[in-house]
Amino acid sequence: MLKLYCFPRSGNSREVKIVLAEKNLSFQAVDIKAPGFDREDPEFKKASPKAKVPAIVDGEVYMSEAYEINEYLDKKYTKNPLMPKDETACKTIRDWVAAHDKKFVLKIGLLVIETLLKPKDQQNEETKAKLRAEITEGMKELDRMLEGKPFLFGDYSLADVSVTPHIAALPILGSGVPGEFKNLTAWFKRIQERPSFKQSTQ
Ligand SMILES: N[C@@H](CCC(=O)N[C@@H](CS)C(=O)NCC(=O)O)C(=O)O
Angle at 134 between CA 71 and CA 12, to 5 degrees: 30
Per-residue pLDDT reduced to its tens digit, 64-117: 999 999 999 999 999 999 999 999 999 999 999 999 999 999 999 999 999 999
Residue 43 confidence (pLDDT) above 90: yes
Question: Which of 36, 54, 76 marks a domain boundary?
Answer: 76
In sequence order, which ranges of the chain are alpha helices (DSSP H)?
A: 11-22, 42-47, 66-76, 87-100, 106-112, 125-145, 158-168, 182-193, 195-199
Residue 134 CA to residue 116 CA, distance in Å, equals 18
Say how many Å lie between the CA of residue 22 and the centre of ligand 1.
Answer: 22
Confidence at residue 175, expressed as pLDDT on a 0 to 100 scale: 85
Average pLDDT over residues 52-56: 97
- Please state whether 126 falls in left (phi above 0), alpha (psi between -120 and 50) or beta: alpha
Best of 4, 5, 9, 12 to mutate for ligand 1, by most ligand atoms within 8 A of CB? Answer: 12
Question: Is residue 56 domain-shared with residue 106, that is, in the same domain?
Answer: no
In a domain, 82, yes or no: no
Best of 6, 33, 53 to mutate for ligand 1, by most ligand atoms within 8 A of CB? Answer: 53
Confidence at residue 63, expressed as pLDDT on a 0 to 100 scale: 98
Say how many Å lie between the CA of residue 12 and the centre of ligand 1.
Answer: 6
Say how many Å lie between the CA of residue 80 and the centre of ligand 1.
Answer: 26
Confidence at residue 31, expressed as pLDDT on a 0 to 100 scale: 97
| 53 touches ligand 1 (CB under 6 Å) | yes
Question: Is residue 109 domain-shared with residue 176, that is, in the same domain?
Answer: yes
> Average model confidence (pLDDT) for the chain?
96
Per-residue pLDDT reduced to its tens digit, 158-183: 999 999 999 999 999 988 999 999 99
Question: Is residue 69 domain-shared with residue 117, that is, in the same domain?
Answer: no
| 165 touches ligand 1 (CB under 6 Å) | no
Question: Is residue 171 domain-shared with residue 105, that is, in the same domain?
Answer: yes
Say how many Å lie between the CA of residue 52 and the centre of ligand 1.
Answer: 5
Confidence at residue 114, expressed as pLDDT on a 0 to 100 scale: 95
Residue with CA closest to ligand 1 atom 13: 52
Question: Which of 29, 57, 76 marks a domain boundary?
Answer: 76
Residue 145 confidence (pLDDT) above 90: yes
Residue 59 domain boundaries:
2-76
As for how many domains the chain has, the answer is 2
| pTM for the model | 0.96
Residue 134 confidence (pLDDT) above 90: yes
Say how many Å lie between the CA of residue 2 and the centre of ligand 1.
Answer: 19
Confidence at residue 143, expressed as pLDDT on a 0 to 100 scale: 98
Confidence at residue 108, expressed as pLDDT on a 0 to 100 scale: 95
3-state secondary structure at position 61: strand
In a domain, 149, yes or no: yes
Residue with CA closest to ligand 1 atom 14: 52
Say how many Å lie between the CA of residue 182 and the centre of ligand 1.
Answer: 30
The DSSP symbol for 81 reads -
For residue 65, count other CB atoms closer than 10 A to its CB: 16
Q: What single letter denotes the amino acid at residue 133?
A: A
